[in-house]
Structure 1
Amino acid sequence: MSGSEDDDWFNQDEDELVQGLEHKVKQQELKENEEHIEYHAPEVGDYLQQLNLEASATDGGSKVAADRFALTDFTKGLKMSPIDMFLYFFSEDRDLFVNQLAANDSLKRVSLFVEVLKSLCQLELCGFDDVLLSCFARQSVLLEKVKRLLLTLLAKASGGKCDAESEQMLLGNMKWLLLRAHRQGVLGHGGYELVELYKQLAPLSKSEAFGGLEPFDGTQSAKGVKGEIYPTLDQCLGKEVTKENPPVSNNVEEYVRKQRQLLRQDFQAPLLEFVQRLRSGDDIKALECQGLLWPGTTLVLNPEFAESQRHSLVFMKLESPEDNKKILINYIKNIKSGALLCLTTSLDFGDLILVSVGYTDTHRLQKGCLSVEIVRQHNIGKIYDRPLIMFQTPVFFEPYLRVHNYLSTCSTEQFAMRRYIVEGETEIQPPAYIKPGTKLSFNAKPFTLKSLPKDLPFNDRQQTAFTDALQREFCIIQGPPGTGKTHLSVELVNCLIQNAKALGTGPIIVLTYTNDSLDKFLVKISRYTKEVLRFGSQSRDPQIAKFNVRSMVNPELVPPRLKRIWWVVNCEYKDKFQRLQDLYTNFDGSEESYQETLVAQHELQQVAERIETLRTVFQYYLARNKDLLVMTTTCAARLNFLFRLLQAKCVVFEEAAEIQEAHILACLTPHTEHVILVGDHKQLQPFSGSNQVPQVSLFERLIVGGLPFTLLNTQYRMRPCIAELLVPSIYDTLLSSDSVKAYEDVRHMEQNFFFVQHSQPEKQSTDMSFENLYEAEQMAKLAVFLVEKSRYQLSDIVILTPYNAQVECIMKKLPKKYRTSVQVASVDSFQGLEANIVLLSLVRSNSSGQIGFLRQPNRVCVALSRARWGLYIIGNLEMLQQSGQKLWKTIANHLEENAAIGDAFPTASSV
């Protein structure tokens, strides 16, 4: 690979990559000054084996001696950063687990070897971690030497006192590795023999090496825990009911277990309800017409290794009548990568296949094909080229999977911010990296926390929040609508960036709940720094698309050792792929063949995990010298490993009150020393797939629990008469700045805010949403009036409604020339945004008094607080007041006091 090919190596498929690397490796072998390093992996194919044979032939001397790392190699590795140590040992032709220890080796060699293993395992390299710990658990020479040491200590009259510091270090590191292997479910008989000896020595010794053995008793294997996120066939049939014990207060392991349980419940409950609906046989045709159920689906093997860059083994093909082809293509296009699809041969659910959706190119999408990976199969062996029924899980799967996987493997001993999150402490410590009296700088002006610059761009309460954010290692800032949360966050992050090198924080990490908010933040912060990486989906804003990690691949930043490991693992994937393909092709229906296939499938998934881990390592070399990393929390849960590699100390959460508690946890690492949560729990709450799971964020829970927080109290958005709708119905107090008091009146309207009362009935749509034709007509007429008569720009106006069906209904009522230019949106999707004039359709109007979303103060708060100049609402206010919600009575009283209720919008009669 040379020239332009070398620049694009990361995007090449396996065949191109292998051919290019074969050529490059052979060239490098000719250079006498180039160290020869190849990864010894007997499973990666003939080419690698040949390279290793050639290396062995040229090395000379004893093979065992050549295979062994010298003490200086271990010492050299331990001086490196953990990730460089990984590259150093894994790109070598010598195997770290073959011939490294002999019965007569010194304690120093054994101790260094164990220290290297611990450092590598502390990286928690997904896909590699199991291999490392499994190989450790099978190191018979190591286990025997440590066993002898423990027996010697037991036999001493002194009662287990270690004679040397090196012995304590060795035994402490061994205990750590034994516990990790136990949690991963790979510890064997020899390892558990050592655990029993540790337990015998524990009461006899004061050494820390023999303490903290409790987790060995009853801790469930991480392998089993990770798999619990997937629904089982028995659950679908109603035969399996999960029983959970109540969590023990202030216990990290129990707390994490409870969070995993809530995640599973939130994801699985809607799915299991949908399965029961399918099993009942009701409305099957209607579900097919709505695109919620797809019979005639088949799974097809990928014999040509097509899409090999994305490692696509299986394609799912959906059939549809010719007249429904467009619906099919649109449906497939809208299935996100990371979604979980369920397939079965019949709606009796005698069997079940679960597949996750991967990347698929446009050409295959047009043919009705999706790239998928088989993740589970129950009670079915032959799954290819046979008719299946397919449906998607009601809740998008990937965020749940990523967070659940993290909570299944995270360290409870080094659980970040446990004193506040788990133990309920309310006295907040300063960040560990900001010492008392530390001199900081902001916009080239030095300051300390006790002596801030005088010309900060804040009001008094914002300045208090700014100071609190720097003084508290766990800081919560609540900002009602329009109070400048984003402005404060941008300036705060700018200050953190300016001091990051001096304080050694690593890149600052900013996380948001939505991509729109992420881009909004990025536009503002990019005024201060260009050293930014944006992870996740491509930005729709061209001025910040340049920050996307996909556009910043730089081969020069990637070490040659990493490129070689990448190539080796890709070769291994291809071998595993071929093995599994052969098993599928020759499947004979026997139990033995079925089990063999499942094992091969699992092995392939493990290698796929290694490839994803290496992709993250590539990103580490791009990210380590950046000022700022920005992404959504869904993306962050996937990249937790990157945060650990970077040892990033400071994480800022925007929209923190909208993020589920478990998702916050998945963004923290043992290196996290400073957490800043910015949001407002009185606006939108976290999304929940099940009404059985409480919609309470960590942000809200801690505020209600008494953790100190800072409240911003001056709003810069709404005309005062609009802001007063929120007080005291939602907020106790909310001041308005002078700037909003100077707004001009809305042109050709007699009032700047108004509520049109009516009693025209709502209508329920097929997708369980609601619409109101009368309100849609009135909203469309008013929008046209404001554009054509009042001469407002289309960008000045937005029409909001709580229901998606009403969004569609209003769009249809607008004149065709405005349907693509007037913004009509749901209230939820407009959170964090604002418009000069808001038209609000509340929709609900019925004889039973059911008001749905309008019962929730959080949604009402968002709906009423988006407008700057004018707010015009239409709804059945009388019914809302009779619903028993005090909120609407308070709002109605304010409207009446301002004579802002009527049966028609107050357009000026002179127009």
Structure 2
Amino acid sequence: MHPQERLRHEAIVNDYYRNAAPRNTDDGWLLLPEVPDTQEMLRPLVSDDLRVPHNQIDGNWPSKYDHLTAQYEFLREESTFALRRAIGLMREHPHLSELDHRDISPGIGIYEKAFAVGIILCRRGLGVRMCFSTFRAGVKIDWITSKRLTTGSLVALSPASDKFQRKITIAVVGARTQELLNQTPPKVELFFPRPEETIFDPGEEYVFLEETSSFFEAMRHNMLSLQRMTREESPLQEYIVSPVSEELNTPLDLIDLSNQVECMSFIDREAGVHTVRVPDYVVQDPHMNLSFATDEDVDHQYDVVNRPMPKDAALLDESQMDALRQILTRELALIQGPPGTGKTHVSVMALRVMLHKMEEQRQRAGPGVIIPPLIVACQTNHALDQLLRHVAEFEPSFIRLGGRSADTGVVKKRTLFNVMEELKESSPGAVVDPPGFRFANASMARMEKEWKSALAPFDESRQEPGPMDEDVFTDHLSPQHIDSIKNSKFQSSDVTSGIPPIVRWLGQDVSLTTSNHNWPAEQEFGFEEFDQEEEEVDEATAEKAREDDKIEMLRGTYIPLLDRSVLMASSIKTLSAKEVKKILTSSKFSNLNKLPPHFRLGLYQYLVNNVKQKVVQKARALACRWAKEVQDRDRGNFTKKLQVLADAKVIGCTSTGFAKYRPMVYALKPRVVMVEEAGECLEANTMSMFLPSLQHLILVGDHQQLRPRAQKPTHNFKHWDISLFERLARNTVDFKMLAIQRRMPPEVRRLLWPIYGDKITDHECTLDRPPVPGLKDFKTYLFHHENHEAVDKFRSTYNQREAQLVVDFVNGLIGHGVKPEKITVLTFYNGQRRLLTQELKKVEGVLSGTRIKVVTVDSYQGEENDIIVLSLVRNNFINDVGFLKVANRVCVALSRARQGFFMFGNVKLLEEAGGDEWKQVVAILRGQGPVETQIVTGTRVINAE
């Protein structure tokens, strides 16, 4: 990269942070710190619902400021309410176990006997290593699979003596490596966002809390982006905060585009000119190569704005070709892809066309003209890896931001970290350390000596564990006092060789408070049940075994901390400041060997406490300086990474990753951003993508499948589970819907009629799917039973008898030759998922040694299999169907099967309480074949053939 370009990037990044700093304002949310403080965490929960307004889902927000304020208030409450609730419970009942709190705070984690045992002078931030006990969990914890203490989680610490009454310190989990967590006692490394509150005293005991139902890291960067956006202007924000003109929604085919280049922006409505907003860069040159979308050679300079899209010989169906045109010619393009209609295929095709166009522009551009990379964002890491694998087939120059890739092939090699590592080896000097980066590193290296000096009284590595050396007390003791200690002897022995003077003076039986942490026994506990999808556990286990410790580890000089306080028996005299002063100023005790033994420990402990106060004060001052250097280094590091990112053609990230790396993306000035899974993405997350440079935003998703998840139930009632994609679609912003599905046989697709009506049809490839072995010609079936449900300790619903029916049914399928990997068992409830997994593992015979995928509906969007078995679970006296009444979840559940779809549940309950969708689904099933009402076991039906 040219030096001028590096300087430009550095200036943009510095400007980004400078403008992001809080300014004088009366608007409280703009002044809120990145991480909540004690005052915020102690705020009464009762006031929360008044703070967060209703989401504006019908019509647009009155102003950009109102919109950003509401989005921020929502995210702030989402990120803190669970931990604040846990703190409130602990204040009322400080001695209860996790299980005692589970009904109110299901994700609570309580860790006691926590002590600081070391610090890590990490360039990412000052890490404090804490040891702790998990006794109050009441279970053994498998840290590989557990969601506890995830990096980026928010934790609240309080001295054990205070129990969250007045003193609360907020920290963020910096690293949770298996090496540390599997020690006895386990250890974790924390960042303290307010360096003046960093814990350094290794002798002070803490209790700390977490709440796993809310993940702070996923929201913190978006909150920062929203604050920053109040001082930015994005060309596309007017679609959200001002009324959308009718002109915007007029289909392209109905508009005279002959003079489009001259009128591509809003024109006074009174003038009566109807126009469509086309991205500025497309206006300048609307010609693109569409040969990728056809099976015949077409004009490589095809005018996608002024000519109709080619229909004949197209590799896309008509609705897909319309969607492609929408993507290429609309600055805000919405594409709805119902199940099986190929929305990823269309996205990849559009990326290929746009990347080809960008490459042509690069070749034509003169020196100094920069064509920025195209950004693709997905809601999940899994979806991002899938999309980038498609991109890799035609564009090798892509980079994946973030290290959480489960891919082991081409995508993993193209993470930013791995690309930079490869460059270091293949082209030394290709990436230059910016001045700010070098200066911060040099400053931090110099500070390491100060750290070691300041923490010397606590540094375990400086001497054998034992009391502080007498020379540490030079600020309190006179030279005569110190000399008298150095000349001490044991009162009962003349042996002095090899024994420190301070120990001889204190007495032979002195022991440190931290010389032996006596943790409560945990061996009698059983392992914690893991409330997570099994396929996620397996993926996480494999990934952690390979990469996690390497990624998580905080690298830097480690300084171990040891509390050199002494155990004080009840017979030992505790001295006040007045008494100590009297002793030290008395000529009688100028020789401290004359001080009675039962006073010596009291004097020593008083001196230690004073030294601790001064050490902590010095260390916190250093921590504030370290935090400033970390900030400067981070900015320089972003500039350094930009040298690599600027050469990429495509940059991929998750929606959370976009916000996290927003300063870098901002500096690249991208003009095109594509968001996959946009219907699942919180509006606040999508908003961070509205950059000043943005000319073209493409949202691909389906708002009739899964919605975003709001962690706090009351937020769903206020419509905060509505994505920007859905809100725009509800408010007449034009979108294209893919209409031909290639996944389900017609019998299964018909079940979606209550949701999509006649808007989707079947591709011919779905018409000749083979029958499911053992079930004659039935592609769908609903097995009825009336066995009642129950609730497990996680407050999740399960149905024991239904689980057995499902297991018998799956057993019968495999007995008829169906391969286990061709079957997926779906359910709406984690309790049923756990039960089904357990029951399938017990089965002998044809299931022995096989593995059936058992997952919840919420984790299966975007996935499919030949045979889907759906366990509906609900069966009760009060006609409550729970999640089954959520149409978006029902849509996903009904649409995963390529060959056969079979349900187990109570038909009567579905018809009476399931709502219109289920009534119609049952009616459709009755029209296609019988609904079995006499079923006892699934195998009886299968064997009926």
Same fold? TM cut 0.5? yes
Larger Cα Rg: Structure 1 or Structure 2? 2
1:842 pairs with 2:872: yes
Alignment partner, residue 273 of structure 1:
85
Alignment-mate amino acid for residue 349 of structure 1: Q
Which deviates more, 463-472 or 325-334? Answer: 325-334
1:745–1:869 contact (8 Å) kept in structure 2: yes
Match of 2:408 among 519, 542, 545: 542
| CA distance, structure 1, for counterparts of residue 343 and residue 155 of structure 2 | 39
Q: Which has the higher contact order (CA 8 A, sep 6+)?
A: 2
| CA distance, structure 2, for counterparts of residue 380 and residue 537 of structure 1 | 28
Alignment-mate amino acid for residue 352 of structure 1: I
**1:54-203 equivalence runs, <5 A:** 80-81=4-5, 83-85=6-8, 120=11, 122-124=12-14, 129-130=17-18, 180=19, 184-185=21-22
For residue 32 of structure 2, give the secondary structure of its aligned residue in structure 1.
helix
Alignment partner, residue 680 of structure 2:
658
2:116–2:202 contact (8 Å) kept in structure 1: yes
1:522-574 per-residue CA deviation (whole Å, 9 max, x = no partner) reads 22222212112122234333233222222211134866752554332123345
| CA distance, structure 1, for counterparts of residue 671 and residue 795 of structure 2 | 45
Match of 2:343 among 452, 477, 485: 485
1:787 pairs with 2:814: yes
Which deviates more, 835-844 or 321-330? Answer: 321-330
805 and 244 in structure 1: CA distance in 2 versus 1, 3 angstrom threshold: closer
2:744–2:897 contact (8 Å) kept in structure 1: yes
1:511–1:652 contact (8 Å) kept in structure 2: yes
Alignment partner, residue 367 of structure 2:
none
| CA distance, structure 1, for counterparts of residue 684 and residue 164 of structure 2 | 34
**1:501-516 equivalence runs, <5 A:** 501-503=359-361, 505-516=371-382
Alignment partner, residue 342 of structure 1:
156
1:237–1:349 contact (8 Å) kept in structure 2: no
1:806 pairs with 2:832: yes
Alignment-mate amino acid for residue 278 of structure 2: P
505 and 856 in structure 1: CA distance in 2 versus 1, 3 angstrom threshold: farther
1:605-627 per-residue CA deviation (whole Å, 9 max, x = no partner) reads 34323333333333222221222
| CA distance, structure 1, for counterparts of residue 628 and residue 786 of structure 2 | 60
Alignment partner, residue 425 of structure 1:
244
* 1:682 to partner: Cα distance: 0.6
**1:745-764 equivalence runs, <5 A:** 745-750=771-776, 751-764=778-791
605 and 712 in structure 1: CA distance in 2 versus 1, 3 angstrom threshold: same
Match of 1:520 among 362, 386, 393: 386
1:452-481 per-residue CA deviation (whole Å, 9 max, x = no partner) reads 455432111111110111110000011111
For residue 759 of structure 1, give the secondary structure of its aligned residue in structure 2.
coil
1:907 pairs with 2:774: no
For residue 477 of structure 1, give the secondary structure of its aligned residue in structure 2.
strand
Alignment-mate amino acid for residue 170 of structure 2: L
1:447 pairs with 2:255: no
2:13–2:635 contact (8 Å) kept in structure 1: no
| CA distance, structure 1, for counterparts of residue 871 and residue 448 of structure 2 | 54
Alignment-mate amino acid for residue 872 of structure 2: L
811 and 856 in structure 1: CA distance in 2 versus 1, 3 angstrom threshold: same
| CA distance, structure 2, for counterparts of residue 624 and residue 377 of structure 1 | 34
Alignment-mate amino acid for residue 506 of structure 1: P
Alignment partner, residue 469 of structure 1:
327
1:535–1:631 contact (8 Å) kept in structure 2: yes
2:436–2:633 contact (8 Å) kept in structure 1: no
Alignment partner, residue 457 of structure 1:
315
314 and 590 in structure 1: CA distance in 2 versus 1, 3 angstrom threshold: closer
1:403–1:637 contact (8 Å) kept in structure 2: yes
* 1:590 to partner: Cα distance: 11
Alignment-mate amino acid for residue 7 of structure 2: D
Alignment-mate amino acid for residue 234 of structure 1: L
| CA distance, structure 2, for counterparts of residue 240 and residue 797 of structure 1 | 45
| CA distance, structure 2, for counterparts of residue 499 and residue 624 of structure 1 | 18
Which deviates more, 256-265 or 536-545? Answer: 536-545
Alignment-mate amino acid for residue 416 of structure 2: V
Alignment-mate amino acid for residue 705 of structure 1: N
Match of 1:435 among 283, 291, 295: 283
1:538–1:548 contact (8 Å) kept in structure 2: no
640 and 283 in structure 1: CA distance in 2 versus 1, 3 angstrom threshold: same
* 1:430 to partner: Cα distance: 0.5
* 1:379 to partner: Cα distance: 9.5
**1:237-636 equivalence runs, <5 A:** 243=51, 249-281=61-93, 284-286=97-99, 292-303=108-119, 305=120, 308=122, 311-320=125-134, 326-327=140-141, 329-330=143-144, 334-345=148-159, 347-367=163-183, 368-376=186-194, 384-393=202-211, 394-426=213-245, 427=248, 428-435=276-283, 438-443=286-291, 445-449=300-304, 450-451=306-307, 452-453=309-310, 454-503=312-361, 505-544=371-410, 545-553=412-420, 554-555=423-424, 556=427, 562=433, 565-574=436-445, 601-636=623-658
* CA-based RMSD: 3.5
831 and 636 in structure 1: CA distance in 2 versus 1, 3 angstrom threshold: same
For residue 567 of structure 1, give the secondary structure of its aligned residue in structure 2.
helix
| CA distance, structure 1, for counterparts of residue 389 and residue 825 of structure 2 | 25
Alignment-mate amino acid for residue 375 of structure 2: I
The two structures have a TM-score, normalised by structure 1, of 0.72
1:717–1:868 contact (8 Å) kept in structure 2: yes
Structure 1: segments with no counterpart, 5+ residues = 1-76, 88-119, 131-179, 187-215
892 and 279 in structure 1: CA distance in 2 versus 1, 3 angstrom threshold: farther
* 1:764 to partner: Cα distance: 0.8
| CA distance, structure 1, for counterparts of residue 823 and residue 634 of structure 2 | 44
| CA distance, structure 1, for counterparts of residue 45 and residue 614 of structure 2 | 26
Alignment partner, residue 162 of structure 1:
none
* 1:868 to partner: Cα distance: 1.1
Structure 2: segments with no counterpart, 5+ residues = 249-275, 293-299, 362-369, 459-607
**1:224-235 equivalence runs, <5 A:** 224=32, 226-227=34-35, 232-235=40-43
Alignment-mate amino acid for residue 217 of structure 2: E
Alignment-mate amino acid for residue 885 of structure 1: G
Alignment partner, residue 832 of structure 1:
862
835 and 302 in structure 1: CA distance in 2 versus 1, 3 angstrom threshold: same
1:645 pairs with 2:667: yes
Count of aligned positions: 715
| CA distance, structure 1, for counterparts of residue 38 and residue 343 of structure 2 | 38
2:48–2:77 contact (8 Å) kept in structure 1: no
Alignment-mate amino acid for residue 341 of structure 1: V
| CA distance, structure 2, for counterparts of residue 910 and residue 776 of structure 1 | 21
1:820-866 per-residue CA deviation (whole Å, 9 max, x = no partner) reads 62111111111111111000011111112222211210011101111
| CA distance, structure 2, for counterparts of residue 587 and residue 398 of structure 1 | 36
358 and 713 in structure 1: CA distance in 2 versus 1, 3 angstrom threshold: same
For residue 424 of structure 1, give the secondary structure of its aligned residue in structure 2.
coil
2:826–2:854 contact (8 Å) kept in structure 1: yes
Alignment-mate amino acid for residue 511 of structure 1: A
Alignment-mate amino acid for residue 442 of structure 1: L
Alignment partner, residue 771 of structure 1:
798
Which deviates more, 772-781 or 347-356? Answer: 347-356
Percent of residue pairs bearing the same amino acid type: 22
For residue 810 of structure 2, give the secondary structure of its aligned residue in structure 1.
helix
1:784-808 per-residue CA deviation (whole Å, 9 max, x = no partner) reads 221222x122221101111112111
